[in-house]
Every structure is written in C-alpha cells, then in structure tokens.
Amino acid sequence: MELTVTQENFARALSAVGRVASTKTQLPILSNILLRTDGNRLLVAATNLEIATTQYIGAKIAKPGAITVPARLISEFVSSLPKGTIELKIVGENIHISSGKYHSIINGVIADDFPELPTINEANSVTYAINTEEFKQAVSQTIITASSDSTRPVLTGVYWHSHEGWIFLAATDGYRLSERRLVETKSEVAAIIPTQTLQEVLRTIVDDSDTIDVLFDETQVRFRINEAEIISRLVDGNFPDYRQLIPAKSDINAVMSKSDFTRVTKIAGLFARESGGSVTLTVDADAKSVSLHSIASELGENTSELDAEVDGDGQVTLNSRYLTEALGVLDAETISLSFSGKLSPIILKSTAKDTNYYHVIMPLKS
C-alpha cells in the first residue's frame, strides 16, 4: 500500500473510529485500526465486536493494500502533525508515515487477522432518512433515562418502535421514563439500540450532515452520516410495555415557565445533596404557585416558589437530579407538570398542542 492523504481528513477519521477500538480486550487486534484502500478512497475502520465504525476519506493511491495499526498511537501521532499532506507506505508489516520533516515507522499487524466488518442486506431491511437535528434532539431526550444496570440489558438501550403510524423512541431505568415521537412510518420496527452506540453516533455527527440514514435488519442497525458508517448489534430481548406506566389523566396540573422552574430546581438541588437529591414539590391552587423545599441537615434548608397556572393541590417528593435532567432536554418555553398524589408519577411535557415528548419521573417514598 502506498498513498497520500491530507492531515486534516486523516486525523478526523482516526479520531472518530479510534473511540471504538477496544483497549480492554483479550483480542489485541481489536485495539488496532484497519487501513485499507477502496477504489480512490482510504477506508479507516475499528470494531469492538459490538460496534463497528468506518470512515472513508479521499486519497491519492499509488499502490492498493491494507494493514492494521495501534489505534491510540497513530491517532495521537497524526493529530500532532502539521496540516498538509501525509504519505503512507507499507513495508513488510510496518507502516512508514512521512509528512514534511516528520518520519515515523509504526509496527502493524497484517489485515487478514482483523475481524470481518459487519454488513447489512439492504434488500431485507427497513430504512429511514432522518433530519440530523431531529435525530440529535430525539436521542438526547431519551438516552438520559436509559439504565446502566447490565443485569437488565433490555433497559440499557433506547427502544425504537412503530406505533400508530409513527416511530417512537422510549427508554426507562425503572425510576423515570421518556418517550419521543420521531418520524412517520409504514413499516413495522421493534429494536433496542444500545446507549453506547447512540452516544457514538451523536459524537460522529458533523455540522455539514443534513440527514442520517438509519437501517434496521433482524439483529443489527446501521447509521450512515456522509462518509461515516456505524453498525451495531441490537440488544436482544423484549422491551417492557411502558405505555401502561404513563397515567392517562392527572388530578393536579401546573403550567409554568421552564426557565423559572429550572432555576428553582437547581437551587433546591443545592440543599438536597445530603438527602440523596430529595426535594418536595408542592402545588398550591390558592396561591397559584409551585414550590420546591429541600433540607441539608448540617447546612440549612431552602424553599423556592414560582408563579404558575394551577389546577388542584398536592405534594410529591422527587429526585432533584432527575428533574434537572428532564428540564434540560425539554424544548419549550412553558411546560406542564401533572400528577395525582404523593405516590403517583409526575409527567413533564411541553404545553404545545402537538407535543412529541413526554418525561415521567417516579416519586420518592418520603
């Protein structure tokens, strides 16, 4: 293999795929990046056997070939080089890298030892082209409620599924739940995408990508963003019937400014650190207000309130971090908060008529 690439493109590709290369593995080859010519492009790829990510960059190819090289070393070396052209040349099992006055030899491993990159049969798959901004928002709004408990794998991902002509995303860790309506569909989909995969896709998105192509088969999902591809295994198992956890109606409702409620929640959270984040939320119909009360036994206590349009009176104890994270992803100026009593979950959503996002938080037993 002998070719020339630009430092900027090569460094960007190495950085993107290098995150997937695994250092904690019994297969040393998985800590390497695969470099392989493909027509007039260079394929840069890595896999940890759960996720495979590839990037294609333009290259001036004098001689085709392939090799694998240690991910961390080559990524850090190339990113340290000045902008300009880089010449790559394989000699034996080594790769010679030259750029201006910089010359290095990195010991590689033959590409034959690298695991075969996964593929998806497009003919037997379901494909969606999703607006990048919509995708980023939907994933960010649901990924925060996914579980990190590996003993319940089906909860460690985001559930993409078709329902009443739409694709919905849902995630829950047992303490909170989020659901986001995304795009219309005529196809049937039911797939749990690992959180790690979705985080990798978010990091791979670049400013000039308008759409993301998402493709599902029986066991895998593929994301294509410009010249980048990420293929991941799906989580095996059935996601719980989460819709039965969302209350159909609530006795107590409050509508308020999101920015005001966010400020009150953050302040209450400062005093709630010692008590596991516990804050008491009170809705008062006579005072037309919502208040949050928190106590730090050794430091003091706090009560903050804000004006709201209120229907009903009630009180519930919640985790302030869950509230703060929910408010952080709610895209609205005014929001509604609904619940039915001390032991009922609260629902947070935008007041917009066509709201596409619900966030449910279970109460703490005070």
Q: What pLDDT is recorded for position 254?
A: 97
Measure the CA–CA gap between 230 and 19, rounded to whole angstroms. 12
Mean pLDDT along residues 146-163: 96
Q: Is the pLDDT of residue 207 over 70?
A: yes
- Residue 258 inside a domain? The answer is yes
Do 222 and 263 lie in one domain? The reply is no
Domain of 300: which CATH number? 3.10.150.10
Do 167 and 145 lie in one domain? The reply is yes
pLDDT digits (tens, 9 = 90+) for 252-301: 999 999 999 999 999 999 988 877 789 999 999 999 999 999 988 778 89
- Residue 98 inside a domain? The answer is yes
Q: Is the pLDDT of residue 353 over 90?
A: no
Residue numbers of the domain that contains 173: 122-244
Do 82 and 180 lie in one domain? The reply is no
| Strand, helix or coil for residue 315 | strand
* C-beta of residue 315 within 8 angstroms of C-beta of residue 251: no
- β partners of residue 107: 94
- Residue 316 inside a domain? The answer is yes
- Residue 366 inside a domain? The answer is no
Q: What pLDDT is recorded for position 299?
A: 81
Do 28 and 107 lie in one domain? The reply is yes
- Residue 80 inside a domain? The answer is yes
Do 152 and 219 lie in one domain? The reply is yes
- Residue 301 inside a domain? The answer is yes
pLDDT digits (tens, 9 = 90+) for 6-20: 999 999 999 999 999
The last residue of one of the domains, among 229, 244, 259, is 244
Do 56 and 75 lie in one domain? The reply is yes
- Residue 218 inside a domain? The answer is yes
Do 37 and 49 lie in one domain? The reply is yes
Q: Is the pLDDT of residue 366 over 70?
A: no
Q: What pLDDT is recorded for position 272?
A: 86
193: which 2 tokens?
């995408």
Q: What pLDDT is recorded for position 311?
A: 96
Residue 40: Cβ-neighbour burial (10 angstroms; 0-12, 13-18, 19+): exposed
pLDDT digits (tens, 9 = 90+) for 320-335: 999 999 999 999 999 9
Do 264 and 340 lie in one domain? The reply is yes
Do 162 and 274 lie in one domain? The reply is no
- Residue 190 inside a domain? The answer is yes
The last residue of one of the domains, among 113, 137, 167, is 113
Do 82 and 30 lie in one domain? The reply is yes
pLDDT digits (tens, 9 = 90+) for 99-139: 999 999 999 999 999 999 999 988 889 999 999 999 999 99
DSSP letter string, 8-54? HHHHHHHHHHHTTS-SS-S-GGGGEEEEEEETTEEEEEEE-SSEEEE
Do 142 and 162 lie in one domain? The reply is yes
In Å, how far are 184, 200, 266, 351 from 354, measured between CA atoms?
Answer: 14, 30, 28, 9
pLDDT digits (tens, 9 = 90+) for 225-240: 999 999 999 999 999 9
The total number of structural domains in the chain stands at 3
Confidence of residue 70 (pLDDT cuts 50, 70, 90): very high
The last residue of one of the domains, among 68, 84, 113, is 113
